[in-house]
A and B are shown apart, each in its own frame.
Chain A
């Protein structure tokens, strides 16, 4: 019985190990911590597998959610990172942004291909909540709804975090280009 159950879990969960590890690697401070996190997440998932509903979550979002919870449990225990205060729903989010300041959008759009290291560096400096939604959006191509499921938050919060994360990255990269007087593509000219 146990063997059969574990085999089924393996079939469901192990194909997503690389993706879960990638997310853990970007969240954790070190490779060792990332591996610990993945192990903890898989153990939690295995114990909760009886309650897992594939049709409700899909295996990958379910594993991401467990990893996300494990990560934040650790952070809260260590009291290392406060929760962001701007967890707003979408109505608040859009109201807050009205009117949008066009100055907040950089004039020139950096050629991302040329700034791989700076891009990675900028991502690593994002607050963890922003980093998580950005990674789920960019690497895993999850929908807002799936990201909201993983992060246990509202869809509006996902949109808010993604908006801010992308704005921060754009501004940092534009500033980087400007400071170094590097070539970039202006889309307005």
Chain B
């Protein structure tokens, strides 16, 4: 290989641009860090100054931080300008897709993404500690109010089995704490928030919070002798049911369960509805999402629980009706890539799911394409 060939080859891999927002964010972080350092220095300096005056000497206070404040004020002003721009999450692009969506990145950022181009348009917040990549971060569940003005999301906590639900305006601003838990899911009218409250790694409850009365109702509690969690929750269009994807360290205890939110449920002692299981032996279903017509969009893997099955192994994204009858195939996936975080827009025509960390979108059940990369989950209205 000639040097020039190598240079050309490396240059040919260049893709996209880098948003100036990253620069402003760096300035904010620098400002925060310098503030912490100055506070410490002031405390130490105050003590030294007292001591100096006490012994009859003198002190020179040298405030050489003017440049810093100028730079950061500029950054803050420009960042604020970006923050104050109105990005509507309720409108539609010419393709019929929602114009924008909110995504949770694997790097711990909550971002507004253009629904047509997949480009990040705004950084809402960053929850990962940039000094310690092992702490913090997003869990990846994102849910929007019907108007698209507020997003609820969940973050990791020190307790590995639980999380914390937070919210932020999609126009930017302060992050507000909502409650301890994870997998926040708003119903279609935005009056009820379902979430998972995990007491211990072995015990969890599905809770529905009325956002009007701020009251919590426990719908079901499940206790196992192994660790368990809920991968996803989704509301039925009429707001009377939830479908939950219950996982555990013991795969035989994994359940896909419909929960009636009008009464307290138990499901380990009663038959559970796993769509299609009866007709397709060994098939597993994951990450179900209710569509507006009552059908369910979910990930299906065949036969990995049953190696003796004559059926060929496959991984698909499908739409089933409430009886488990297949209504259509959205995509064929790769067996070694997890397909997660299914979501739909309000019309049911534009479907989202994650293929690994690639956000895929399918319009009108057509072959999906990659919309954005490096995400854990996303939602649009």
- Interaction A to B: no
The chain A residues found within 8 Å of chain B, CB to CB, are none
Residues of B that sit less than 8 Å from A by CB: none
